[in-house]
């Protein structure tokens, strides 16, 4: 059953209308993260849900895919290695399909400067690959990326002084088109130097007197105001003892033990594995604050901006939302 020829025949024989392609996507993440627990963190799902997906895939293919999966050891069967290879090829083909259909024969003729406004610290292997593919297809387009606060990005787009931006957004903005590219969930964390680090079975009520590390932009009315609303509704009484507009500095001060604080789950996955940060309740997180691609519907875009907008949307949306943030090997 685990010989290569039999594996290929079994996989292709069952890739029909009865197979849920989400099972293959989940399997790819399990292998890339080398375990159920880290796959659950990356996909924002529970460990039992990931385990059930693996079980359903193995039952559908009638073969065992993983021979060992413990905190110390992770290994695939021969069949599992072949299914991983095939699933990776399928994912790559899907991501290229729409691009190949929509690119014109003259895409190399597009030239000029493309300016993209963006918030800081977007960690995405898919995004990195998108920029690489765009440069390959449009070598005469020069790219400049300006890092700004979300409020400043939205203001620049509204005033038509910029063409495209990647920004946090909570509501529809007048005259701006927006497409959700990076769904992200914020959760509470403490650092290795905090007294709660490593504490099991904590409840939200155990945190209410803790001091906070806060984003400068989480005031009411700003893009991160759901973090303020959460603190007020939950009844937190601790002080804000440290703040910054920078995600990296917020992360640094939480690690240093100044207080607890909210961070995007995808951005601290490695910190959890390295035991620099500790996840706190509530289990479902604090707030969903997504990153949108935005542009003014009444502003004329240059040829370079038009090419980037079309390419970026097609490439990024070809991947499931759960895969667009964080590291994805093999792309």
Q: List the domain range (segments joined by +) for residue 270.
A: 185-288
Q: What is the pLDDT of residue 313?
A: 94
Q: What single-letter DSSP state applies at residue 318? A: T
pLDDT tens for 295-306 read 999 999 999 999
Check pLDDT > 70 for residue 168. Answer: yes
Higher pLDDT, 217 or 264: 264
Answer whether 170's CB lies under 8 Å from 294's CB. no
Last residue of a domain, one of 81, 101, 121: 101
Same domain, 212 and 280: yes
Q: What is the DSSP letter of 111?
A: -
Q: How confident is the model at residue 60 (pLDDT cuts 50, 70, 90)?
A: confident
Specify the DSSP class assigned to residue 176: E
Q: Is the pLDDT of residue 274 over 60?
A: yes
**Is 3's pLDDT higher than 50?**
no
Are residue 265 and residue 194 in the same domain, yes or no? yes
Q: Are residues 311 and 276 in the same domain?
A: no
pLDDT at res. 95: 57
Q: Using one digit for the tens of pLDDT, what is the confidence trace for 22-48? A: 888 888 888 888 888 888 887 778 888
pLDDT for position 105: 44
36-40: long-range pairs with CB below 8 Å, 24+: 36/69, 38/269, 38/273
Do residue 65 and residue 10 come from a single domain?
yes
Share of the chain above pLDDT 90, in %: 49
Would residue 293 count as lying in a domain? no
Shared domain check, 125 and 79: no
Q: What is the CATH number of the domain that holds 24?
A: 1.10.10.10
Which of 101, 130, 152 represents a domain boundary (last residue)? 101
Q: How confident is the model at residue 126 (pLDDT cuts 50, 70, 90)?
A: very high
| Predicted pLDDT at 211 | 97
27's CB contacts (< 8 A; 6+ apart) are 53, 54, 57, 65, 83, 84, 87
Residue 331 lies in a domain: no
Q: State the pLDDT confidence band at 331, using cuts at 50, 70 and 90.
A: low
* Omega within 30 of 0 (cis) for the link into 282: yes
What CATH number did the domain enclosing 217 receive? Answer: 3.40.190.290
What per-residue confidence (pLDDT) applies to 269?
A: 86
Q: Is residue 130 part of a domain?
A: yes
Residue 317 pLDDT? 92
Average pLDDT of span 227-249: 92
Return the percent helix, strand and coil in the chain, to nearest 5: 45, 20, 35
Residue 29 in domain: yes
Q: Identify whether residues 213 and 230 lie together within a single domain.
A: yes
203 and 235 assigned to the same domain: yes
Average pLDDT over residues 271-285: 95
pLDDT at 14 over 60: no
Residues 82 and 145 in one domain: no
pLDDT score recorded for residue 231:
92
Answering whether pTM is above 0.85, one says no
Tell me: do 126 and 48 sit in the same domain.
no
Tell me, yes or no, whether 269 lies in a domain.
Answer: yes
In a domain, 295, yes or no: no
In a domain, 294, yes or no: no
In terms of DSSP bridges, do strands 74-76 and 66-69 run parallel, antiparallel, or are they unpaired? antiparallel
Mean pLDDT of 291-316: 94
Residues 126 and 93 grouped into a single domain: no
Lowest mean pLDDT among 15-19, 53-57, 211-215, 235-239: 15-19
310 with 165, same domain?
yes
| 76-80, 152-156, 201-205: which is most confident | 201-205
The pLDDT value recorded for residue 4 is 46
pLDDT tens-digit series, residues 76-115: 899 888 888 888 777 766 655 545 544 444 556 799 999 9
Is 80 or 222 the better-scoring residue by pLDDT?
Answer: 80
CATH number of the domain to which 166 belongs = 3.40.190.10
The domain tally of the chain equals 3
- 136 belongs to a structural domain: yes
Mean predicted confidence (pLDDT) in 8-16: 50
pLDDT-wise least confident of 5-9, 147-151, 198-202, 237-241: 5-9
Mean pLDDT of the chain, nearest integer: 85
197 with 267, same domain: the answer is yes
């Amino acid at each position: 059953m685990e010989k290569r020829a039999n594996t290929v025949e079994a996989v292709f024989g069952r890739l029909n209308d009865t197979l849920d392609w989400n099972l293959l996507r989940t399997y790819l993440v399990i292998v890339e993260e080398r375990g159920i627990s880290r796959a659950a963190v990356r996909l924002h799902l529970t460990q039992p849900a990931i385990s059930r997906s693996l079980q359903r895939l193995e039952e559908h293919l009638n073969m065992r895919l993983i021979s060992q999966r413990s905190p110390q050891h992770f290994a695939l069967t021969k069949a599992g290695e072949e299914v991983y290879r095939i699933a990776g090829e399928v994912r790559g083909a899907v991501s290229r399909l729409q691009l190949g259909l929509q690119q014109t024969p003259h895409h190399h003729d597009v030239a000029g400067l493309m300016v993209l406004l963006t918030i800081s610290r977007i960690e995405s292997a898919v995004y990195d690959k998108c920029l690489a593919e765009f440069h390959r297809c449009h070598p005469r387009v020069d790219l400049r990326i300006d890092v700004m606060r979300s409020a400043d990005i939205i203001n620049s787009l509204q005033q038509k002084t910029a063409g495209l931006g990647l920004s946090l957004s909570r509501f529809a903005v007048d005259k701006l088109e927006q497409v959700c590219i990076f769904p992200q969930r914020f959760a509470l964390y403490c650092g290795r130097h905090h007294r709660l680090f490593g504490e099991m079975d904590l409840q939200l009520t155990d945190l209410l007197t803790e001091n906070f590390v806060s984003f400068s932009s989480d005031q009411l009315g700003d893009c991160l105001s759901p973090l303020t609303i959460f603190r007020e509704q939950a009844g937190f009484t601790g002080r804000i003892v440290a703040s910054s507009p920078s995600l990296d500095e917020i992360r640094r001060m939480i690690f240093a033990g100044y207080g607890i604080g909210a961070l995007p789950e995808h951005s601290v996955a490695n910190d959890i594995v390295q035991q620099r940060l500790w996840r706190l309740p509530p289990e479902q997180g604090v707030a969903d604050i997504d990153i949108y691609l935005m542009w003014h519907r009444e502003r004329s875009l240059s040829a370079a901006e038009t090419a980037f907008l079309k390419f970026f949307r097609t490439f990024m949306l070809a991947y499931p939302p759960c895969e667009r943030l964080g590291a994805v090997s093999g792309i």
